[in-house]
Amino acid sequence: MLSDADTLARFGGDEFAVLLEDRSDYLEVARALRGSLMAPFSLGGREMSVQASIGVAQVDLVDPTPTVDELSARADLALSIVKGRGKGDVLLHGLGMQLEEVDDAALGCALAQALVDKEITLAFQPIVDLSTRRLDTLEGAVALDPRRTSHIP
């Protein structure tokens, strides 16, 4: 499935990325990875399996070479669309692809206005590295007031 030239990396949580080097069988690899995760295994005396959704982005001759961030964003967009369709599938990013629910610009404007109108509340929890006692990151949460957020799509 993966060769020695390919790279598998964990982004965090349940998100992983695979970089395939000099291969054109990316959809077959994605489907094989998904299939291998679905194989039942025993954990604590119970049979379990993992359902995975996979977003795929590619570099091709027609498209100017994207940056790593652009490729990651494309794969993430394809992943979001797969999850929105019910999860457990593989989707290749295509030109012009966007989320069906709402485009980022409209959502950004609506959220910015909701902040101004005090229709949403932001809360952050610090994540501290206990070994250094330094702030590592922040986790955020948004609370919506359903009585006042009629203009958020």
| Helix, strand or coil, per DSSP, at residue 80 | helix
pTM of the model: 0.61
Rounded to whole angstroms, the Cα distance separating 18 from 78 reads 14
From first to last of the 153 residues of the chain, give the pLDDT tens digit: 898 999 999 988 888 999 998 888 999 999 999 999 889 999 999 998 888 999 999 887 777 778 888 888 889 889 988 888 887 899 998 877 776 655 666 777 877 888 888 887 778 888 888 999 898 888 877 676 656 545 444
Work out whether strand 120-129 and strand 134-144 pair parallel, antiparallel, or are unpaired. Answer: antiparallel
> How is residue 102 annotated by DSSP?
-
In angstroms, the CA 78 to CA 73 distance is: 9
Task: Report whether 121 contacts 143 (CB < 8 A).
Answer: yes
